[in-house]
């Protein structure tokens, strides 16, 4: 979700106004995913590198996170949304962690939409943590290094129980992954749009989905193989 600062600057507003406006885009996107029957949505809200921003901006982002959880959790629950937060939560304020835990507990058995918020998340952090867990098991003699394969490795990552993303959307015109779901994006279709995040709405999402629908996903096969597999 990129472009909040530029959205605000264009309007001669402080960057924080852009972040506030960005919450509206989150709401629209979640609603559209529900309407479209999309089963999983992962939002990159705050990266492990975003701590480098000015302290007032970091604290406003954290406040918005707390306020949004307080305001939206009940409605999400009513709509069958399961909410989860991935990332190193140990660095977050106790109040925020409390709100996260409450929202996760309330919505834990919902299955209409998996809504995942990445906060203080980094793809490298995720991979390193999985490697460390496996190393610990080996060190304790509970696992033989020879059995470590991609499937076992995957099961120690943050989104072990969620299918790999079909589509990645980055707003704001930048064409980078910026340490998002590095492992999980291996075969994901990438979509970049100049739309600034606060302007991202139902139509923007539909446009991305339409673009996605026109692509042929080959997973290493040839185009001809995929055609004949699809035709059965």
Which residues ranging from 91 to 150 are in contact with ligand IPE (CB under 6 A)?
none
DSSP assigned state of 86: E
- Candidate residues 17, 41, 61, 86; the one interacting with ligand IPE per rule CB under 6 A: 61
Which of the residues 50, 79, 110, 179 is marked catalytic?
50
Counting Cβ atoms within 10 Å, is residue 157 exposed (0-12), middle (13-18) or buried (19+)?
buried
* Under rule CB under 6 A, residue 172 binds ligand IPE: yes
Is 126 assigned a catalytic role?
no
Give the whole-angstrom CA distance, residue 70 versus residue 41: 20
Which range touches ligand IPE (CB under 6 A), out of 4-12, 122-130, 205-213, 215-223? 4-12
Query: What order of strands is seen across the sheet that includes strand 40-47?
Result: 40-47, 113-121, 81-86
Place of tokens 């709401």: 27
- Candidate residues 20, 40, 50, 191; the one interacting with ligand IPE per rule CB under 6 A: 50
Give the whole-angstrom CA distance, residue 229 versus residue 196: 39
* Under rule CB under 5 A, residue 2 binds Mg ion: yes
By Cβ distance, which residue is nearest to ligand IPE? Answer: 5
- Within 10 angstroms of residue 43's Cβ, the number of other Cβ atoms is 15
Identity of the residue, 6 or 27, whose beta carbon is nearer to ligand IPE in the bound complex: 6
Name the token pair of 34. Answer: 């529900």
* Under rule CB under 6 A, residue 5 binds ligand IPE: yes
DSSP assigned state of 209: H
SS3 200: coil
Which range touches Mg ion (CB under 5 A), out of 2-10, 22-30, 97-105, 216-224? 2-10
| Cα-Cα-Cα-Cα dihedral sign, residues 119, 80, 63, 3 | positive
Is 50 assigned a catalytic role?
yes
41-80 footprint of Mg ion as x/- string (CB under 5 A)? ----------------------------------------
Q: Which residues bind Mg ion (CB under 5 A)?
A: 2
The catalytic residue positions are: 2, 50
- Where do contacts with ligand IPE occur on this chain (CB under 6 A)? 1-6, 46, 50, 61, 172, 197
């Amino acid at each position: 979700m990129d472009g909040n600062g530029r959205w605000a600057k264009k309007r001669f507003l402080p960057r924080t106004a852009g972040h506030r406006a960005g919450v509206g885009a989150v709401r629209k996107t979640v609603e559209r995913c529900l309407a479209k029957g999309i089963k999983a949505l992962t939002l990159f809200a705050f990266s492990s590198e975003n701590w480098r921003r000015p302290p007032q901006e970091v604290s406003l982002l954290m406040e918005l996170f707390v306020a949004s959880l307080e305001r939206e959790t009940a409605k999400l629950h009513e709509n069958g949304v399961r909410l989860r937060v991935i990332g190193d939560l140990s660095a977050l304020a106790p109040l925020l962690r409390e709100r996260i835990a409450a929202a996760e507990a309330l919505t834990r058995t919902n299955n209409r939409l998996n809504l995942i918020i990445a906060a203080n998340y980094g793809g490298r952090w995720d991979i390193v943590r999985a490697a460390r867990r496996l190393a610990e098991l080996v060190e304790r003699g509970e696992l033989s290094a020879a059995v470590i394969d991609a499937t076992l490795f995957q099961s120690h990552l943050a989104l072990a129980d969620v299918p790999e993303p079909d589509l990645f959307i980055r707003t704001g015109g930048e064409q980078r992954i910026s340490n998002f779901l590095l492992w999980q994006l291996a075969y994901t279709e990438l979509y970049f749009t100049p739309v600034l995040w606060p302007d991202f709405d139902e139509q923007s999402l539909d446009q991305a989905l339409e673009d996605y629908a026109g692509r042929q996903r080959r997973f290493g096969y040839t185009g001809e193989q995929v055609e004949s597999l699809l035709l059965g």
